């Protein structure tokens, strides 16, 4: 015989009366509650996965930047001279990008516009970061009309976690500003340079 357990149930308009719930009914209710909890956990996990996929390479938390760029010479992406990062002095704009990063593709023409307008006052350097497909990177740069220096950091030497990344280097070679950010307008980039590098554009 299934074990019986006394309980209470309120009947509208009547006093509380004892009821009896059979053990088999109670077990079934427990299983259903467990299944409901499992379904909720699955839904939460699915939502977290969707959120991560939507975030992509263009959005990430901030992290502390190193005081300076690493003391390493990176080869040119386009056949020009290499660049010694350790000796780089600003004011300079350094953009970390890759051909597989969609936000990077969108912002390349903006960096080129900044270079055309302010290149005589503020240096611009593009770093093709952790990208093993140099041919595609060169093709993207050509389609975007990029003429400022581009180097390759495929090892990589620059500490980084997400793309795109903007680094602003001051006249002492120190990193004055560092953020994982997509530049969406020339005005946005100009304001960041003026604020963090102390130049008037």
CATH code: domain of residue 100 = 3.40.30.10
176 and 80 together in one domain: yes
Would residue 162 count as lying in a domain?
yes
Would residue 61 count as lying in a domain?
no
Q: Could you tell me what percentage of the chain is helix, strand and coil, using 3-state DSSP and rounding each to the nearest 5?
A: 35, 25, 40
| Cβ atoms 197, 116 nearer than 8 A | no
49 and 85 together in one domain: no
Range(s) of the domain holding residue 27: 4-55
- Residues 197 and 192: their CA atoms lie apart, in Å, by 8
pLDDT in tens, the chain (201 residues): 444 444 444 444 445 444 445 554 455 545 544 555 555 655 655 554 444 334 446 445 555 555 899 999 999 999 999 999 999 999 999 999 999 999 999 999 999 999 999 999 999 999 999 998 999 999 999 999 999 999 999 888 898 889 999 999 999 999 999 999 999 999 999 999 999 999 999
- Residues 112 and 28: their CA atoms lie apart, in Å, by 67
Q: Please identify which residue in the block is written with the tokens 């960041």.
A: 192
43 and 118 together in one domain: no
30 and 122 together in one domain: no
Would residue 183 count as lying in a domain?
yes
Lookup: tokens for 174: 């120190």
Would residue 104 count as lying in a domain?
yes
Beta-sheet strands, E only, within 27-122: 73-74, 83-84, 92-97
């Amino acid at each position: 015989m299934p074990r019986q357990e006394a309980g209470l149930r309120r009947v509208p308009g009547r006093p509380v009366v004892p009821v009896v719930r059979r053990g088999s009914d109670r077990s079934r209710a427990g299983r259903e509650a467990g299944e409901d909890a499992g379904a909720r956990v699955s839904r939460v996990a699915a939502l977290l996965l969707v959120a991560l996929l939507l975030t992509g390479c263009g959005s990430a938390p901030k992290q502390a930047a190193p005081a300076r760029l690493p003391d390493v010479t990176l080869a040119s992406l386009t056949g020009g001279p290499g660049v010694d990062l350790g000796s780089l002095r600003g004011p300079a704009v350094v953009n970390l990008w890759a051909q597989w990063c969609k936000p990077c593709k969108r912002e390349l023409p903006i960096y080129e516009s900044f270079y055309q307008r302010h290149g005589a006052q503020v240096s611009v350097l593009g770093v093709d970061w952790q990208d093993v497909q140099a041919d595609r990177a060169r093709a993207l740069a050509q389609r975007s009309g990029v003429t400022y220096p581009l180097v390759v950091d495929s090892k990589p030497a620059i500490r980084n976690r997400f793309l795109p990344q903007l680094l602003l280097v001051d006249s002492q070679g120190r990193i004055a500003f560092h953020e994982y950010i997509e530049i969406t307008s020339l005005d946005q980039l100009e304001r960041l340079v003026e604020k963090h590098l102390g130049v008037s554009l």
